[in-house]
Amino acid sequence: MVSTKFYTAIYVVLFVSATIQVLVEFAGLAYWAAFGIIIVLSAAKAVLVAAYFQHLRWEPRSLTYLVGIGLVAALALTVAASYSLL
């Protein structure tokens, strides 16, 4: 598969982006702008971990869909429930 060097690179990216999240918070941006950046960074990190550390990238796509279904279910519940309050 891939080399240790490659995994190390991923690790460094993850490490740095976690740091950026906190820096964004301290940068004093508007709340929702900071919110957007931080959540997008979290999602990007999650994708990296899943794709490379859990090697979903090299597995049959069905495994990715499987987890995707769980994710969609959880999001549907959260979004619809929150919307019902409006």
Partner 1 sequence: MSDTNPERTGGGSERTDGGTEVGSEVVSGGHTDDHDHDHGHDFPGTGSIKRWFVTTNHKDVGILYIVTSLFFLVLGGVLAWLMRIQLWAPRAPTETILAPVAYNQAVSAHGLLMVFWFLSPFAFGFANYVVPLQLGAKDLAFPRLNALSYWLYLFSGILFGVSFFQGGTFSGGWTMYAPLNVPTFTPDVGASTAVLALVLFVASVTVSSVNFLTTMHRMRAEGLTLRNMPLFSWTILLTVWMMLFAFAALLAALMVLSADRLLGTTYFAMESPAGALLWTHLFWFFGHPEVYIVFFPALGVMAEVFQTFTGRRIVGRKWFIIAMVLVAIQSFVVWMHHMFLTSINLQVKTLFMITTIGISLPFDLMVFALIYTMLKGKIRFTTPFLFVFGALLLFIIGGITGVFLGAVVLDYEFRGTYWVVAHFHYVMVGGVTALVGGLYYWFPKITGRMYDEFLGKVHFAAYFVGFNLLYFPLFVAWETPRRVFDYAPELAPWHQLATIGGFVLGLSFLIMFYNLFKSAFTGDPVSDNPWEYATTAEWAVSSPPPLENFEGTPTYRDGHLSFILDRESDATGGATAADGSGGATADGGVATSPHTAVTTEYEPTVEATEVEGPSHASIWPFVLSLGAFLILLGISPLQDTAFPEGMMGAAYATTAVAGFGVTLGSLIAMGLEPFHGPVFDEGEAWPFSGIDNGKVGMWIFLASDVVLFGGFLGAYIFTRFAFGWTGWQPVPDDPIPGLVNTYILLTSSFTVVLALVAAEKKHKLGLVTSLGATFVLGIGFLVNKALEWQHLFHEGLWLSTNVRTSTFFLTTGLHAAHVIAGLIVALYLTARAWRGAYLEDSRSVEYFGLYWHFVDIVWLFLFPLFYIL
Q: Does 58 bind partner 1 (CB under 8 A)?
A: no
50 touches 67 (CB < 8 A): yes
27 touches 34 (CB < 8 A): yes
Q: Does 20 bind partner 1 (CB under 8 A)?
A: no
Q: Does 19 bind partner 1 (CB under 8 A)?
A: yes
44 touches 17 (CB < 8 A): yes
Number of Cβ within a 10 Å radius of residue 46: 12
Q: Where does this chain bind partner 1 (CB under 8 A)?
A: 4, 7-8, 11, 14-15, 18-19, 21-22, 25, 31, 34-35, 38-39, 41-42, 45-46, 49-50, 53-54, 59-60, 62-63, 65-67, 69-71, 73-78, 80-86
